[in-house]
Amino acid sequence: MATRTGKKITGGRYIKRRKRKSYEVKGQKRIVKLGEEKKKNMKTRGGNRKIVLLKAKEINLKTQNKKIQKTEIKNVLETPSNRFLARQNILTKGTIVETTLGKAKITNRPSQEGCINGILVE
């Protein structure tokens, strides 16, 4: 006989000890897509604020001569963590994008920060 999840052998249900605390509740999943720039202000723990990216088309690139240059993202080429994210033009850490200067790898987490940083790859 297969057991049902959340139920006792007799068929009764388990009663939870307590509800989730506010810091245990998961937030809304944030996805950064390629497109016209769109940001959102969010309240965080301790009364602080966080600027979150929702859409972006520019990247801060570190070039070979250690200078930082802002360039436009043309296309998402590949995402090593999940190949389906590249098809949907979703920007995550480790994603390789095509820019005006060449291929670049995203080095930060755009869903946690208000910008996209990267380095040239080749």
Report whether pLDDT(3) > 70. Answer: no
User: In CATH, what number is assigned to the domain containing residue 49?
Assistant: 3.10.290.70
Q: Could you tell me the residue range of the domain that residue 89 belongs to? A: 33-120
Report whether pLDDT(84) > 60. Answer: yes
- Whole-number pLDDT of residue 2: 62
In a domain? residue 1:
no
- Whole-number pLDDT of residue 76: 95
What is the domain count for the chain? 1
In a domain? residue 97:
yes
In a domain? residue 79:
yes
In a domain? residue 8:
no
In a domain? residue 5:
no
Q: Pick the closest to residue 38 from 53, 19, 24 (CA basis).
A: 53
End-to-end, the C-alpha distance of the chain in Å comes to 58
Q: How far apart are CA 44 and CA 24, in angstroms?
A: 13
In a domain? residue 4:
no
Report whether pLDDT(1) > 70. Answer: no
In a domain? residue 54:
yes
Each residue's pLDDT tens digit, 32-70: 999 999 999 988 888 999 899 999 999 999 988 889 999
CB neighbour list of residue 122: distance below 8 Å, 6 or more residues apart: 102, 103
Percent of the chain with pLDDT over 70: 97
- Going from the C-alpha of 34 to that of each of 72, 76, 87, the distances in angstroms are 10, 8, 11
